[in-house]
Structure 1
Amino acid sequence: MGVVTILNSCSSNTTAADGTALAGDAPAGKKITLGIIPLTDCAPLVIAHEKGIFKKYGLNVEISKEASWANVRDKLLTGELDGAHCLFGMPFSVYTGVSGKAGSEMQIAMMLNNNGQAITLSNDFCGKVGFQNLDGMAAAVSAMGAKKELTFAMTYPGGTHDIWLRYYLAAAGVDQQKVRIITIPPPQMVANMKVGNMDGFCVGEPWNQVAVKQNIGFTHLASQDIWKNHPEKALVVNKQFSEGRREDLKLVMKAVLEASIWLDDLKNRGEAAEIIGRQSYVNAPANEIEARLLGEYDLGCDFGKYTYKDDYMLYHNKGMVNFPRKAYGIWYMNQYVRFGYLKDAPDYKAIADKLILQDLYAEVAKEMGIAVPEDDMQPFTIDIDKSTFDPNSPGAGAPVAKK
């Protein structure tokens, strides 16, 4: 599509603490409340708010900064939030009963980003493993685990960070029955590692970079090293909102798509880092956010620096990012079976059909002149272990975890 004109920032009193709503974009119209967690990939919602794009579409939007993914889940289900920046895996985790009441529906309207998460290890691992290299990880865990129980943290059971962590450990040959995996909200990861509550974690940026800057951990690999251009965050909506205010949801999606296009212009990422780094949003130094937004990783340990050239955090990528693929939902649920969250395979395709509003996204994309990818339900390969997954035969697709 052609260049989208983004409006200048409208004024807003964004002085909220966790769990409180921030100022809306427009006084007119019925309010729409969208939740975020303090992570770099909340940027599409924040930019749409701060640059006046929601207002451009006549929407009265509030951004609500939440304390944890469990808060986001609960408020989406009750309708306290109409929509949210959300872990792609969460709707499937909740619906299947992994992390909520089975059968509870939250719907995926569109994707917000690919890539940009990471595995951070404590400095105790420095010298025992190499950057992007799994060799030595199992031996290090075994040796260190002989002295104490090792603990790794993720952000939500069945969410993206949980699955990246478990997949990474399995690919490294780590027996997950011999380590402890706990749930910690993203903004609390660094503080918990600092006091020795965990030996490694998987979380979104900027918290991996913050850990490096505070010299309490190092980046072992980024999530794009696990699976290049993987699905990460989604715009997830309350079912009643999607059904009762369909046209408003379409306008929200159009505004978010415009913000996503703006974000993928690297010339805008410095400004984006300054905006989302504010206390009312991520509350982290803009320079630490900006570096990894540009793919420039200061890794910590003895690794120096590394630049991701085409697989840094992407928000649009000519529409390849934003299309919600049912195949990816099937893959997530397949991992729940693999890692013991589910005893039996669920009805993969039926659940993906129910929770992913693919037709609505296609309608919005067509109206905006954005191409809709045609690759859904085709086999794809996970980079870290070269495993190919066929969403049409999911029972045969998950590799056996190495012991």
Structure 2
Amino acid sequence: MKNIRKNLLLVSAILFMATISAFKYPAAEVIKLGFIPLTDCAPLVAAKELGLFAKYGVNVELSKEASWANIRDKVLNGELDGAHCLYSMPMSVYTGIGGKAGSEMKIAMTLNNNGQAITLSKDFCGLVGFKDLKKVNGAIAEIKKRKEVTFAMTFPGGTHDIWLRNWMAASGVNQKSVGIITIPPPQMVANMKVDNMEGFCVGEPWNGVAVAQNVGFTHIASQDIWKNHPEKALVVNKDFATNKKEDLKKVMKAIIEAQRWLDNMSNRKKAAAWLSKPYYVNAPVSVLEARLLGSNDLGCDLGVQKYKDDYMTFYNNGIVATPKKSYVMWFLAQYVRFGMLKSAPDYKGISEKLVLDDLFAEVAKEMSVPVQPDMQAFKTTLDVNFDPNNIAGYLSTTKK
């Protein structure tokens, strides 16, 4: 009996101490970050798998989402604190192109550059080659003798929509002469299989998967449209940015450390293995790995394209992460250029409202990340010079 009494007293003491500890050291509140199954969700996945969120003292749960519209809705209604997100989605939503006008999604940092592509169906095989823009318009005309031509992107006003439209403008394609539809990234290949579209613009690995399944071929990569372009961002809701600033900073620090790890090329095979899991991207590890390493099997007997310094990058000596107002302005200018907005928006006001550049500067200083200069003129590969201080001048010289 004595031993039983002693054991009961010991158990009671342990339970009492555990209760006291729970009050003294409460469990960290869950921070929920969404992602779409794409290769460039890798910074969030690596931060989770490497234990970096825990290292910086935040309890992050990753939530796989079905579409960019899901991401938008859940960030805005607070179901998600933030997400891996198309860089231009906040502008599309705020201006009413892709959501309720005036809704604010805040850009905390850039997650990656490069690594998207335009895939064309086998209808185009033999009519147009890799980066062969001069033949695109004629190829479309040839196919239109048999059927209508439709292209897919992933979200109205999103990055893939804008890469697609820039490609068509550079190829001399009248955008009103073809259909443009919205399809979630993981559904692209299946939709091309059943002939719902003749081409699509999407992130990896779905371009690579289309080649692997002999459904289509890679016609051009997004880095051939604009080398080192901004692609995905860490986007957060207004409440999280305003009321949980310190937690957001910790999340950003974990992601920056993951970005550095990912840009060590010897780590990319491990990253591909993580991403291939069903609860992340759920795609063949061989396809994920090849394109992460800059090796693109193009399909259609076009061979393999090796990208040397413009494959998908996540850190690039600190160049990637800075969120830039000038990039926000460039995307807004594309909306005007392609008739998605009927009049010029408040370029400066919108960029200042949506970009958390001051917060990023704080994090960058603490993480020794060089903040990149902003509001300077730049030029994309297929377009004319863009000066954020003279957007009207830019629009007067662009191809529609």
- TM-score bracket, normalised by the shorter chain, equals over 0.9
Match of residue 391 from structure 1: 388
Structure 1 residue 138: Cα displacement: 0.5
Higher normalized helix content (fraction of residues): 2
Identical counterparts, % of pairs: 65
Partner-residue secondary structure (3-state), 1:397: helix
Match of residue 321 from structure 1: 320
Partner-residue secondary structure (3-state), 2:283: coil
Match of residue 51 from structure 1: 50
Deviant stretches of 4+, over 4 Å: none
CA offsets 1:124-151 (integer angstroms, 9 cap, x no match): 1011112112011001111211321101
Match of residue 234 from structure 2: 235
Structure 1 residue 64: Cα displacement: 0.3
The CA RMSD over aligned residues, in Å, is: 1.1
Partner-residue secondary structure (3-state), 1:203: strand
Match of residue 354 from structure 1: 353
Number of residue pairs aligned between Structure 1 and Structure 2: 375
Match of residue 211 from structure 1: 210
Query: Do the aligned partners of 1:28 and 1:59 also contact (CA within 8 Å) in 2?
Result: no
Match of residue 377 from structure 1: 375
Alpha-carbon distance in 1 for matches of 2:139, 2:284: 33
Residue 222, structure 1, aligned to residue 221, structure 2? yes
Q: What letter matches 1:63 in structure 2?
A: L
Q: What letter matches 1:354 in structure 2?
A: K
Match of residue 338 from structure 2: 339
Match of residue 171 from structure 1: 170
Q: What runs of 5+ residues in structure 2 fail to find an aligned partner?
A: 1-25
In the TM superposition, 1:104-183 aligns within 5 A as 104-183=103-182
Q: What letter matches 1:309 in structure 2?
A: K
Match of residue 12 from structure 2: none
Match of residue 82 from structure 2: 83
> If the length of structure 2 is used for normalisation, what is the TM-score?
0.92
CA offsets 1:26-66 (integer angstroms, 9 cap, x no match): x9211100000000000000110111000111111100000
Alpha-carbon distance in 2 for matches of 1:177, 1:282: 34
Match of residue 258 from structure 1: 257
In the TM superposition, 1:271-290 aligns within 5 A as 271-290=270-289
CA offsets 1:52-103 (integer angstroms, 9 cap, x no match): 0001111111000000000000000001000000000000000011111111
Query: Do the aligned partners of 1:260 and 1:316 also contact (CA within 8 Å) in 2?
Result: yes
CA offsets 1:345-367 (integer angstroms, 9 cap, x no match): 10001100110000110110001
Structure 1 residue 394: Cα displacement: 1.0
Alpha-carbon distance in 1 for matches of 2:296, 2:109: 28
Query: Do the aligned partners of 1:123 and 1:217 also contact (CA within 8 Å) in 2?
Result: yes
CA offsets 1:3-27 (integer angstroms, 9 cap, x no match): xxxxxxxxxxxxxxxxxxxxxxxx9
Q: What letter matches 1:401 in structure 2?
A: K
Alpha-carbon distance in 2 for matches of 1:142, 1:384: 22
> If the length of structure 1 is used for normalisation, what is the TM-score?
0.92
In the TM superposition, 1:184-199 aligns within 5 A as 184-199=183-198
Partner-residue secondary structure (3-state), 2:240: helix
